[in-house]
Chains A and B, each alone.
Chain A
Amino acid sequence: MFYRENGQFKTSYRTDLQVFPIRQDRIFIWALLAVAFVLVPFVASEYTLRALLIPFLIYALAAIGLNLLVGYCGQISLGTGAFMAVGAYAAYNLVVRFPAVNFLVVLVIAGLCAAAFGILFGIPSLRIKGLYLAVATLAAQFFVDWMFARVKWFTNYSSSGSVSTAPIELFGMVVDTPQEKYLFVLSVVVLMALAAKNLVRGHIGRSWMAMRDMDVAAEVIGIRPVYAKLTAFAVSSFVVGIAGALWGFVHLGSWEPAAFNLNLSLRLLFMIIIGGMGSIVGCFFGAAFMWFLPIMLNQLPTTLGIPISTALIAHLELMIVGALIVFFLIVEPHGLARLWSIGKEKLRLWPFPH
């Protein structure tokens, strides 16, 4: 009834190429952005901002990066944690060695370092595919774990191998309250998500998808596999590297190499599988599923006043989340993003489905 596109005509190429061609979608997204940027910082508690929303946004950003590679280009990667680590340590070293540099520049350079690293470990993808490539990217994970734990220069010779970051300064303003941190992360994530969305709609994204769907056919129609695969690795690692720098600087503040271990890589992979491969929206769904759901389950008994032991809650949390993952994958193997679009299709016909 409300969600109808009757009477909305596309009269120019510009309107035809919009990210959100339906007016209701545009209104919805603007409202959402307004709530996220204006309302949330005022009403959300410190806990919500620091422990829920900031990690969620950074996870979503990392998931977008990974999705570009896995969902759009079809190159399975188990090295996301490694690329995040490269971004985080690059940013750390830049800040330590060149304290005067603006943090936005630091973020971009950190992303570029991660991109270079991604290209390096993307080279095997030119020869190997599928699970074999996953194993090759696993090597990146182990190599990076080793490198940041052993090469002391990267951690500025700290005795325990962990690093702490200075407060973030942007144009003379220190970003330290939860609200400022949240807005900063949100801005970065929105910009990157928009860039990613547009990238996958353009010729680069289309060449990635062609590679994913059938690489031989793609080559025949004139897409260079070297270029397509390596740009996918580069762009993906760039986004993931920025997420890593944010994770280190904004969320953790101090970290050890184990903060970016294989667990993180796997968790991000689950996020995009559950959220939806080849979908930017899905990254947000997946990140929410993997971050909010366990915490909500964990808090539920206490909130409701049900006396259950902490151990049992923790075990139940693992069991229920595990069961839900299986459930969602059986019900909708294409992820939550697909459920979302099915819902929208249904809504267009509601209340008179034919």
Chain B
Amino acid sequence: MKKLDPRVRIAAAAMGAACALTAGAAYSQAKEQFFPVLVYRTGAYAPNGVPFANGYVDYLKLVNARDGGVGGVKIVYEECDTQYATDRGVECYERLKGKGPTGAAVFHTLSTGITFAVTDKTSTDKIPIITAGYGRSDSMDGTVFKYNFPLNGMYWTAADMLIQHLAKKEGGFDKLKGKKIALVYHDSPFGKEPIALLQERAKMHGYDLTLLPVTHPGVEQKATWLQIRQQRPDYVLLWGWGVMNSTSIKEAVATGYPREKMYGVWWSGAEPDVRPAGDGAKGYNALVFQSPAGRGKVHQDVFKYLHDKGQGTGPKDEVGEVLYNRGLAAAMLSVEGVKRAQVKYGKKPLKGEEVQWGLENLALDDKALAALGFTGFMAPTSTSCADHMGASQSYLHTWDGTKWNKSSDVYAADMQIIKPMVAASAKAYAAEKKVEARDCAKVAAGG
């Protein structure tokens, strides 16, 4: 007799939909700008996800408390925990994109996998996504990826700057010939993205590139480091996230590989990555993204307006840590995008499409950054229709056992090499997805 059924659940779901609709209606007409916040406070990558999320939310709170919102429009936000899983991330994106009076302003997907899945939907939903320092490397091409903004850098620029640093250390690019460089990477699009550029550079300079993948979440690396012990590469580039980073450093200690010769990408250079390794992490280097560790004027504001009033999101000591600062900077970029769009569209809640224009016309010079309290925590950035990344520059910092110290000059990615790669990859994407590239001259003419 149990032959009934299939879709009884759909009726239940339809009821759920009705609930969702009524909830949406309650928001309408308020002078509020909705900021969706995708975070992962749980799951394998939580130790790194939490400080970022706290920084992001703190900045949104700060803008409300200090400035009374963006141009008088109050910021409302809602967090959704993705657990760094793509399917939950997509669900979160769908859940949050329609909230607030005008829908979501801008998303930070905060995971390469979610970025890939969501990129598809942004063009129909007309909501921009910022993937500062991660995401698709080819998405800096604004003609094809209208709604993607890999602001301030992506994996190819990071890899490029690391190689520049190694060349400088060796005394010139010609000295890299015959050197052995190993890439220890998270075996996912995140870890694989830099390979294309490293191979391109290897062709130019003649170094040997060894690829050593580490499977998610990266706690098992014995085999990888055994290979490093056997091959003794001159340098190890670390492309990890979360627990993988500290495991790598611990394995390096166990293998006796000098930490001074290990260079992490900016996702492998925060306090949660080095602290578990204790003293063993001393001498380990990593790239700095946007903002180093430390406290500046904006942090004083965070204390003044939030923590002193008991409104801070996370613990007090966390303010000024690498990932906290990155969250802060990420939120700042979102807010600045909205602010820029308000210049054109008026000081009212804006649609994602309008925020897209703001992000595409960012002009953050030293003066603007100083006014925001970000002096020393962000390089000047401007974007355009064709260039969705803005300047990508970085330097290295080294862990001394207690804190990160700046340890190199500032490098800028060599766009001569990267631009053609971006163009080729974006073109392939456009062909695959049947997307038509925008003509930026026309966009400019149309205002």
Binding site for B on A (CB under 8 A): 19-22, 25, 28-29, 32-33, 35-36, 39-40, 43-48, 50-53, 55-56, 60, 96, 149, 156, 159-162, 164-167, 176, 190, 193, 197, 251-256, 258-259, 261, 263, 279-281, 284-285, 288, 292, 295-296, 298-299, 302-303, 309-311, 313-315, 318, 337-338, 340-341, 344-345
* Cross-chain contact B39 with A310 (CB below 8 angstroms): yes
* Cross-chain contact A32 with B116 (CB below 8 angstroms): no
- Shortest distance in angstroms between B286's beta carbon and chain A's nearest beta carbon? 21
A302 to B190, CA, bound (A): 32
Question: Which B residues from 30 to 84 make CB contacts under 8 A with A?
Answer: 39, 41-42, 46, 50, 53, 78-81, 83
* Cross-chain contact B4 with A281 (CB below 8 angstroms): yes
Binding site for A on B (CB under 8 A): 1-14, 16-21, 23-24, 39, 41-42, 46, 50, 53, 78-81, 83, 85-87, 90-91, 94-95, 97-98, 112-113, 116-117, 119-121, 124, 136-137, 187-190, 192-193, 195-196, 213, 216, 425, 429, 432-434
Contact of B9 among A43, A56, A338, A344 (CB under 8 A): A56
Contacts of B433 in A (CB 8 A): 164-167
* Cross-chain contact B7 with A284 (CB below 8 angstroms): yes
A260 to B41, CA, bound (A): 23
A28 to B42, CA, bound (A): 41
Given A50-B94, A303-B19, does the pair A254, B117 have CB atoms closer than 8 Å?
Answer: yes
Among residues of A, the one whose C-beta sits closest to the C-beta of B43 is A314
Contacts of A258 in B (CB 8 A): 86, 113, 188, 216
Contacts of B9 in A (CB 8 A): 56, 284-285, 288, 292
Kindly list 11 other residue pairs between chains A and B, CB separation below 8 angstroms, not including A55-B87, A253-B120.
A45-B24, A48-B13, A52-B91, A60-B6, A159-B192, A164-B429, A165-B433, A254-B120, A292-B9, A314-B42, A337-B2
* Centre residue among B78, B113, B124, B429 by max chain A CB count within 10 A: B113
- Shortest distance in angstroms between A81's beta carbon and chain B's nearest beta carbon? 12
Contacts of A149 in B (CB 8 A): 187, 213
Contacts of B6 in A (CB 8 A): 29, 32, 60, 190, 193, 280-281, 284
Contacts of B79 in A (CB 8 A): 310
* Cross-chain contact B90 with A318 (CB below 8 angstroms): no
Contacts of A162 in B (CB 8 A): 113, 116, 189
A93 to B41, CA, bound (A): 36
- Interchain residue pairs with CB less than 8 A apart (7): A35-B11, A40-B13, A55-B91, A279-B2, A310-B39, A311-B81, A344-B2
A165 to B176, CA, bound (A): 39
Contact of B81 among A159, A280, A313 (CB under 8 A): A313
A50 to B195, CA, bound (A): 34
* Cross-chain contact A340 with B4 (CB below 8 angstroms): yes
* Cross-chain contact A252 with B117 (CB below 8 angstroms): yes
A344 to B120, CA, bound (A): 44
* Cross-chain contact A29 with B113 (CB below 8 angstroms): no
* Cross-chain contact A56 with B1 (CB below 8 angstroms): no
Among residues of B, the one whose C-beta sits closest to the C-beta of A315 is B42
* Cross-chain contact B98 with A20 (CB below 8 angstroms): no
Contacts of B119 in A (CB 8 A): 164, 254
A190 to B10, CA, bound (A): 13
* Cross-chain contact A311 with B10 (CB below 8 angstroms): no
A33 to B1, CA, bound (A): 19
- Shortest distance in angstroms between A24's beta carbon and chain B's nearest beta carbon? 9
* Cross-chain contact B195 with A159 (CB below 8 angstroms): yes
A295 to B116, CA, bound (A): 22
Contacts of B425 in A (CB 8 A): 159
* Cross-chain contact A48 with B193 (CB below 8 angstroms): no
Contacts of A44 in B (CB 8 A): 13-14, 17
* Cross-chain contact A252 with B20 (CB below 8 angstroms): no
Among residues of A, the one whose C-beta sits closest to the C-beta of B41 is A311
Contacts of A53 in B (CB 8 A): 10, 13
* Centre residue among B13, B112, B196, B433 by max chain A CB count within 10 A: B13
Among residues of B, the one whose C-beta sits closest to the C-beta of A284 is B6
Among residues of B, the one whose C-beta sits closest to the C-beta of A338 is B2
Among residues of A, the one whose C-beta sits closest to the C-beta of B24 is A45
Among residues of A, the one whose C-beta sits closest to the C-beta of B155 is A160
- Shortest distance in angstroms between B362's beta carbon and chain A's nearest beta carbon? 26
- Shortest distance in angstroms between B258's beta carbon and chain A's nearest beta carbon? 30
Given A149-B187, A303-B19, A344-B1, does the pair A314, B83 have CB atoms closer than 8 Å?
Answer: yes
* Cross-chain contact B188 with A256 (CB below 8 angstroms): yes
Contacts of A50 in B (CB 8 A): 94
Contacts of A35 in B (CB 8 A): 7, 10-11, 14
A315 to B42, CA, bound (A): 7
Given A32-B10, A252-B90, does the pair A25, B3 have CB atoms closer than 8 Å?
Answer: yes
List of 3 A-B pairs having minimum Cβ-Cβ separation, nearest first: A341-B2, A51-B94, A253-B120
* Cross-chain contact A96 with B432 (CB below 8 angstroms): yes
Contacts of A337 in B (CB 8 A): 2
Contact of B95 among A159, A252, A299 (CB under 8 A): A299
Contact of A20 among B4, B18, B46, B187 (CB under 8 A): B4
Contacts of B39 in A (CB 8 A): 310
A306 to B81, CA, bound (A): 16
* Cross-chain contact A256 with B189 (CB below 8 angstroms): yes
Among residues of B, the one whose C-beta sits closest to the C-beta of A49 is B17
* Cross-chain contact A51 with B91 (CB below 8 angstroms): yes
* Cross-chain contact B16 with A52 (CB below 8 angstroms): yes
